[in-house]
Structure 1
Amino acid sequence: MRILNICAYTWAIGGPARIIYDHTTEVLRLGHQVDILSPMTPGEKMYPAPEGARLIPCARTTPISNIYREFSIEMYRYLVKHIHEYDVIHMHGIWHFGSLAPFLIPNKAVLVITIHGLLDQWAVAHSKWKKDLVTFLYQKRLLGKADLIQINNTDEEADVIRYLGYRPKNMVIIPNGMKVPDFTNLPPKGIFRRKMGIAEDEQLVLFMARLNVKKGLDLLLPAFEKIHRQVPRARLVLAGPDDGYQAQAEEFIHKHQLTSRIQLAGMLTDAHKKEALADADLFVQPSYSEGFSISVLEAMTSRVPTVVSDRVGFGDYIRQYDAAFLAPLNPDGVAEGILKILQDKAFAAEVANRAFSMVTENFDIRVVAGRLLEEYKKIKK
C-alpha cells in the first residue's frame, strides 16, 4: 500500500508527529510506502522523517491560516495532482483544512481520520465559535463520510457519540503505540542535571509538553508552590515550547519568588529529552484534554513514576494497572500526588514498574501498527 499522512509534522505539534514517526517506521519495515504531507509556517522546525519515508512540506497560506488552521493552497494543489497515487489518506486531527481537503477532490483512496482527542468536551469548548462554524459547514458530515475513524479509547468513543449523536459504524478503537526500545536504554544519569544546574540531592520534577493551558499548568504551578516548602530540595523543570502560556508561567514564578525552584528549559528533542527523563524523579502532566499523551508514555517507558490526570488518553488502562498517581483536576490533588511520589520511594518504584508493564503489554508499536494496517486492508477500495 501507498499511504499519505496529513499532519502539521513539526516539533512544536508534539505527540501526533511522534505517533506518525513510530507508526511509519513499522509500516515501512513491513514493506509499504509512506509520504507525510505537512502544512507549516516558514521557520518551523520539521520533525525528522523515518528513513525511507518522504516528507513533503507545504506552506500555510496566510492570513487565512491564522484563523482556519493549516489552510494551504500549496497542499491543496499537491493533492489535486497526486491524490490518485495513494491507497490510503490518513488525516490527523479535525477542525483544520488538512482534514477537509481530501474530501474535496475525487479519489479512490481509503480516507482515515484519527481524532487525537479533539472532540473532548474541554477541547470543543476552546475557540468554540470557530468549531461551531466548522461543525455547521462540514465536520459532522465528513466524519460520516470517512471510511475509518480511529479513536484511542472508550472516553474518546463517548466523545464521538456525543458529538455526532450516534455511534458511527466506521469507528474503531486502536491506541497509539510506542517504540519501546527507544526509551529503555537512556543516557547516563547526571547530564541533564549538570546542564540545568540541578544538584544530585535535589528531586527533579519534570513537566514535558507544550506550554499550553490545556496541559494543566494552571494547576501544576500553584500545586508546586504549595509543596516546595515541605520538599525544599524539589526542583520543577518546565520543558516545552511556548504555546500561549509561557508569559503566565513566568509571571507566576516571579510573583511567588520561585525562580530558584522552577526553571523553563524550552523544547527538548531527541537525546536532550532522554537525558531529562534519565534524571527525573517524577514526571507530571495534569492535562485537561489529550488525545493520547505520547510524552506520558515516554516517561512510563523510561520507568519514571508519573502524576497525571485521567484525561491523558488512556486513563482506563492506568486505573487497570494502577500505573500512575491519578490526580483530580485541582491544585491540591496535583500537590498530593507530587508529595506522595517524592516522599514514598517504595510507592514510586511500584508505580513505575506497573506503568512499564502497561506500556509493553498494550502499546508496543509492532502490535498497534499491525492492527491499523489490518483495518486499512479491510476497507481497501
Structure 2
Amino acid sequence: MKILQVTPFFKPIWESGGVARVAYDIAHNLHAKGHEITVYTTNRSIYPNDLPTNRLTSVDGMNVYYFENLRRYLPITAPPVMPYYMPAIARREIAQFDVIHIHDHRTLLTVIASHYGRKYGVPYVLQAHGALPQDTGSRRMKRLYDMVWARKVILGAAGVIALNETEAERYREVGVDEERITIVPNGIDLAEYPNLPPRGRFRAAWGIDDATKIVLFLGRLDPTKGIDLLIRSFAEVSREYDNAVLMLVGGDMGHNDEFKQRVRMLGLEDRVIFTGFVNKEDKMAAYTDADVFVTPSFTGFPVTFLEACLCGTPIVTTCQGDRLGWVDDTVGINTAYTPEALAGAIGRLLADDALRTRFSEQGKELVQNQYNWEAIVHDIENFYAKVAAEGNQGGCSPTGVWPGSKPKSEAVLRSGR
C-alpha cells in the first residue's frame, strides 16, 4: 500500500513528545513490511535544527517532507504548528495514496490532509493520541479549533484509533460509530534496545551513589503531567527517606522556573535534580538506575511506561486523566491524585524490595510479549485494509461525514466525557 503518515513532528525531533516517537515507529515498521511510506511533518519544535525544509528527503528509506513551521517566527506563547507550504504538496500528491494516517487531530496539518483526503476520496485514519479533551494545555486554542474544525475532521475519518477504552468512549460520545473505532495500544520496538545500559552509569554521571533511592520522572516538563503535584509529593517522601532524590528528566517546555520556585519554597534544592533533555542512551540509563518511575497524569498510552517496564522499573501513576488497567498491581501502583496518596505509593515501593522486584519482572515480560510493534503494526495494517476497502466502495459521503454517525454536543469535546 501507498501510505501517508501525517504528524506534527517526526524523527529526529524527539523532544516534542511521544507522538513523534509513535508516528516514527508505526511508519518505520510499515516500511519494513514492504509498504511505501511518505511522511508530512514539520521542522520545528522548541529546539533549533538544520533539517531540510519544503522538499522531499529520505529518512530510513521513507519519503519525508519537513515543512517549514512558521511558529518559530511568532513571539506568542504556544502558537499553532503552521506548515505554510504543505497545501502546495498535498494538492498535488494526496490523490495517489491508498490511505492516510493522521496523528494528533488539532493541527493545521490535520486540517490540510483531511481536506484533501475528502476532496480526492482517499480514506484517512485519525489517531488523537489521548488529546480529545479540552481540559489540558491551551484550552482557549483547543476550544477555537474545535468550534471550527474538530467535528468535521473526526467524523470525516474512515476510522479512528483509540489507545485505550477511555479514549474509545470519547470517540463514541463525539459521534463516531462503533465499527469505525479500533483500540490499538502504543508499542515498543525491541530491536532498538538490544543492550540495556548497565546499572550505575546514569548515577555516576550525576554523582549519585548506589545507596540513594531515585524517584524518576521522564518526559516533557509540562504542568499537564502533574509535575507540581509530584514535587509536593516528594517533599513528603523526602521527610521519610533522607537518601532519596527526585530526578526530573526532560526538556523545559517553558515552565521550569515555576517548578524550580516550588522546589525552593519546599527547601528541596539539594534533593531535586533537573537534567534537561537527554539522548536515548542516557534516557535508558536513567530508567535502569531509577528505583521508581512516576508520571502523575497522562492521556493516551505513554511510551515512557513501556520503556520503564522494559528496564524493569516499577511505575507509579494516578487516576487523573486516562487509565491503563494493566499498570495497577501488575507493573506498579495506580493511586489517587493527591500529594498524600502519591507520596504513599512512592514510599511503599521504596520500602518494599520484594514488591519492586515482582513488578520489575512482570513489566519486562509484559512488554516483550504484548506491547511490541511487530504485533501492533499487524493490527494497524488490517485496519488500513478495512478502511481502504470501504473507501473504494464509496463509504464516505461528499460532506466528509460517514453515514450513520451521530453527532453529539460540543460539551463532549470540552469535557472529554
- Same fold, TM-score > 0.5, yes or no: yes
Moved more, 36-45 or 268-277: 36-45
CA drift at 1:84: 2.4
1:69 pairs with 2:77 = no
1:172 pairs with 2:182 = yes
Give the aligned residue type for 1:79. Answer: A
Separation of aligned partners in 1, 2:107 and 2:79: 6
1:297 to 296, 302, 306: 306
1:309 to 297, 303, 318: 318
Q: CA distance change for structure 1 residues 15 and 146 in 2, over 3 Å: closer, same or farther? A: same
SS in 1 for 2:360: helix
CA distances 1:188-236 after superposition (whole Å, capped 9, x unpaired) = 2221111111112111111101010111112100010111121111111
SS in 1 for 2:105: coil
Partner of 2:364: 356
Alignment of 1:113-262 (within 5 A): 113-120=126-133, 122-123=135-136, 126-162=137-173, 164-165=174-175, 167=177, 169-183=179-193, 185-262=195-272
CA drift at 1:246: 0.9
SS in 1 for 2:228: helix
Give the aligned residue type for 1:156. Answer: E
Q: CA distance change for structure 1 residues 184 and 347 in 2, over 3 Å: closer, same or farther? A: farther
Q: CA distance change for structure 1 residues 44 and 82 in 2, over 3 Å: closer, same or farther? A: farther
CA drift at 1:181: 4.5
Moved more, 237-246 or 58-67: 58-67
Partner of 2:14: 11
For the 8 Å contact 2:70–2:84, the answer to whether it is kept is yes
Give the aligned residue type for 1:90. Answer: H
Q: CA distance change for structure 1 residues 374 and 311 in 2, over 3 Å: closer, same or farther? A: farther
For the 8 Å contact 1:306–1:352, the answer to whether it is kept is no
Name structure 2 gaps, 5 residues minimum.
52-57, 393-417
CA distances 1:324-347 after superposition (whole Å, capped 9, x unpaired) = 111211111110111011110001
Partner of 1:51: 60
For the 8 Å contact 2:4–2:38, the answer to whether it is kept is yes
| TM-score (normalizing by structure 2) | 0.84
1:266 to 241, 257, 276: 276
Moved more, 207-216 or 104-113: 104-113
CA drift at 1:41: 2.8
Moved more, 299-308 or 74-83: 74-83
Partner of 1:89: 100
1:322 to 317, 330, 338: 330
1:347 pairs with 2:355 = yes
SS in 2 for 1:118: coil
For the 8 Å contact 1:193–1:279, the answer to whether it is kept is yes
SS in 1 for 2:327: helix
Q: CA distance change for structure 1 residues 90 and 44 in 2, over 3 Å: closer, same or farther? A: farther
1:25 pairs with 2:28 = yes
Q: CA RMSD in A?
A: 2.4
Q: CA distance change for structure 1 residues 151 and 362 in 2, over 3 Å: closer, same or farther? A: same
CA drift at 1:121: 5.9
In the comparison of the two structures, how many residue pairs are matched? Answer: 376
1:36 pairs with 2:49 = no
Q: CA distance change for structure 1 residues 31 and 209 in 2, over 3 Å: closer, same or farther? A: same
Name structure 1 gaps, 5 residues minimum.
none
CA drift at 1:110: 2.5
Residue identity over aligned pairs, in percent, reads: 24
Q: CA distance change for structure 1 residues 325 and 121 in 2, over 3 Å: closer, same or farther? A: farther
SS in 2 for 1:317: coil
Partner of 2:403: none
Give the aligned residue type for 2:261. Answer: E
Q: CA distance change for structure 1 residues 44 and 107 in 2, over 3 Å: closer, same or farther? A: farther
CA distances 1:169-195 after superposition (whole Å, capped 9, x unpaired) = 422111111113444731122211111
